[in-house]
A and B are shown apart, each in its own frame.
Chain A
């Protein structure tokens, strides 16, 4: 089952490169930058942004992976425990500017959980947010600093991001959701 495509592989590539430029511009350089991808699809995206920064600036920005499972606010509501994917952070986040990277920004609850997790590791100078797709419908006062594409959606729709590293191909699709899936991601 395949929905309507809203981003092609080329569009994802261009958006990733633009995000990398925006991040460096806002930071006025790469000093103290740390890219942290949220499991799962935020992780390859963070690596792609780091590769683009390396190409443009000649600097390797460290990349980490964050699993927010233990910080979800719906653990008592889901029927089965989500499978933990694992966290790997470069040592020491104190005083760094962290760019959280995720594929889709929706309710904001994932980002809330990610920020809770990060502050357990230390005290970053700042936390910023970069997402490939912002689909709206926030339930918390959270906004992204860097957005690949803003996509107006309804709550009955599902935004599906495919990335080569995980899914074998690149693309973003939007489709009508079947009845409420059990244990759906918190978005």
Chain B
């Protein structure tokens, strides 16, 4: 079973045994799902993560069938409400819901009453009055899904809010890494998240799941784009969730098992954070030369959409170590698993303990 390869990780675990490890052997009695919403991954316990991973395995099997569709959510209405541009996350949720036989309603905020000034709360109430039982939403304001969850009678799934969280991305990243690691364990594996961390909800959610899985996590980017993470790392270490922050790309990538490049978010980039995209690509872009510092079988990941030639070179993105298309396929399976698990909690009083993990 899982062996802690890194003595520092073992020490951390000894200091704070409450840190969930995803890789602990699953108990004979799986703990049932009890969360009504999926707003972030910080409230998910080790057994919750394990249940999501195992349910995702079953969904992968469904996706491999000649008819990749099961009636599990027949008669349920899933409304997808996106206030920000998206292709893969929105389509991934739509495909996932349709594979479970749910009825899917798509709302693009730009062409809805939101454009006439309707408030988020009124939109959520309207969507519920139109029959939505599950609401998948993306919003440019951090925390918006938490507000929606207060007024919505069903389940809210966060499809990305501002800089804050992107829980389904973190879970599909975790699944993709575990699938490719020998033994299915991330314990002691060096995982690097490289690039624009400041604006990255993907990184913020991944920190929770990867530290829970026992990975040796490194965050790397220019000083202006890793601002604030040092302080989080300090608080995290105190709570047993250790990770490293560095501006040295060589130090970060050397001997890494996984290198995840993040998109430079030009639409969120304030003046002065980067001298130029060209300088960023030269100093922090994931090129073949830089990847050569990592382990020879290191995985290359990217949450998409990519700016090829900026944060990642085209030949690396399409190279043999890249699992970027696996991330997309696994994204459908993970979202099927989450829709399935959340659909079982309707009518119960349980809510997500989303602040339970706020120690780090």
State the A residues within 8 Å of B (CB): 67, 69-71, 75-76, 78-81, 83-88, 116-117, 120-122
Query: For the complex, is B358 an interface residue (Cβ under 8 Å from A)?
Result: no
> Number of B residues whose C-beta is below 8 Å from A?
30
How does the 8 Å CB contact mask read for B129-161 relative to A, with 1 for contact and 0 for none? Answer: 000000000000000000000000000000000
A89 vs B32: C-alpha distance when bound (angstroms): 26
Taking the nearest CB of chain A, how far is it from the CB of B106, in angstroms? 23
In the complex formed, the residue of A with least CB distance to B346 is A76
Overall SS of chain A's interface: loop
| A69-B72, A70-B71, A86-B58 known; A81 vs B344 contact (CB < 8 Å) | yes
**Contact partner, B65, options A69, A83, A86, A120, Cβ 8 Å:** A120
Taking the nearest CB of chain B, how far is it from the CB of A64, in angstroms? 12
Query: For the complex, is B34 an interface residue (Cβ under 8 Å from A)?
Result: yes
Determine whether the beta carbon of A81 is less than 8 Å from that of B54.
Answer: no
Determine whether the beta carbon of A81 is less than 8 Å from that of B70.
Answer: no
In the complex formed, the residue of B with least CB distance to A80 is B32
- For window 54-79 of chain B, which residues contact chain A by CB distance below 8 Å? 54-55, 57-58, 61-62, 65-67, 69-73, 75-76
A56 vs B343: C-alpha distance when bound (angstroms): 47
Taking the nearest CB of chain A, how far is it from the CB of B100, in angstroms? 8
Instruction: Give 23 pairs: A residue, B residue, CB < 8 Å, sorted on A.
Output: A69-B72, A70-B62, A70-B70, A70-B71, A71-B70, A71-B71, A75-B72, A75-B73, A75-B343, A78-B344, A80-B32, A80-B33, A80-B344, A83-B54, A84-B54, A84-B340, A85-B58, A87-B58, A87-B61, A116-B71, A120-B65, A120-B69, A121-B67
**Contact partner, B340, options A76, A78, A81, Cβ 8 Å:** A81
Q: Which of B58, B75, B348 has the most CB of A within 10 A?
A: B58
**Contact partner, B58, options A67, A79, A80, Cβ 8 Å:** A67
| A70-B70, A116-B71 known; A81 vs B58 contact (CB < 8 Å) | no
- For window 12-69 of chain B, which residues contact chain A by CB distance below 8 Å? 30, 32-34, 51, 54-55, 57-58, 61-62, 65-67, 69
**Contact partner, A81, options B33, B62, B67, B347, Cβ 8 Å:** B33
Query: For the complex, is B306 an interface residue (Cβ under 8 Å from A)?
Result: no
Determine whether the beta carbon of B344 is less than 8 Å from that of A75.
Answer: yes
Query: For the complex, is B345 an interface residue (Cβ under 8 Å from A)?
Result: yes
Q: Which of B32, B33, B51, B346 has the most CB of A within 10 A?
A: B32
Overall SS of chain B's interface: loop
- For window 303-360 of chain B, which residues contact chain A by CB distance below 8 Å? 340-341, 343-348
Determine whether the beta carbon of A86 is less than 8 Å from that of B61.
Answer: yes
| Given pairs A76-B76, A83-B54, A121-B66, 16 additional interface contacts (CB within 8 A) | A67-B58, A70-B62, A70-B71, A71-B70, A76-B343, A78-B344, A80-B32, A80-B344, A80-B345, A81-B33, A83-B32, A83-B55, A84-B54, A84-B55, A88-B61, A117-B70
Residues of A within 8 A of B65 (CB): 120-121
A76 vs B73: C-alpha distance when bound (angstroms): 8
Residues of A within 8 A of B347 (CB): 79
Residues of A within 8 A of B345 (CB): 79-80
Taking the nearest CB of chain B, how far is it from the CB of A80, in angstroms? 4
In the complex formed, the residue of B with least CB distance to A82 is B344
Taking the nearest CB of chain B, how far is it from the CB of A99, in angstroms? 21
A81 vs B342: C-alpha distance when bound (angstroms): 8
Taking the nearest CB of chain B, how far is it from the CB of A79, in angstroms? 6
Residues of B within 8 A of A67 (CB): 58
A75 vs B71: C-alpha distance when bound (angstroms): 10
**Contact partner, A122, options B66, B73, B340, Cβ 8 Å:** B66
**Contact partner, A79, options B51, B340, B341, B344, Cβ 8 Å:** B344
A70 vs B69: C-alpha distance when bound (angstroms): 10
Q: Which of B67, B70, B347 has the most CB of A within 10 A?
A: B70
Q: Which of A81, A87, A116, A120 has the most CB of B within 10 A?
A: A81
Taking the nearest CB of chain A, how far is it from the CB of B38, in angstroms? 14
| A70-B62, A71-B70, A87-B61 known; A80 vs B340 contact (CB < 8 Å) | no
Residues of A within 8 A of B69 (CB): 120
Taking the nearest CB of chain B, how far is it from the CB of A115, in angstroms? 13
Residues of B within 8 A of A70 (CB): 62, 70-72, 100, 340
Determine whether the beta carbon of A83 is less than 8 Å from that of B66.
Answer: no
In the complex formed, the residue of B with least CB distance to A68 is B70
Residues of A within 8 A of B32 (CB): 80-81, 83
A156 vs B347: C-alpha distance when bound (angstroms): 27
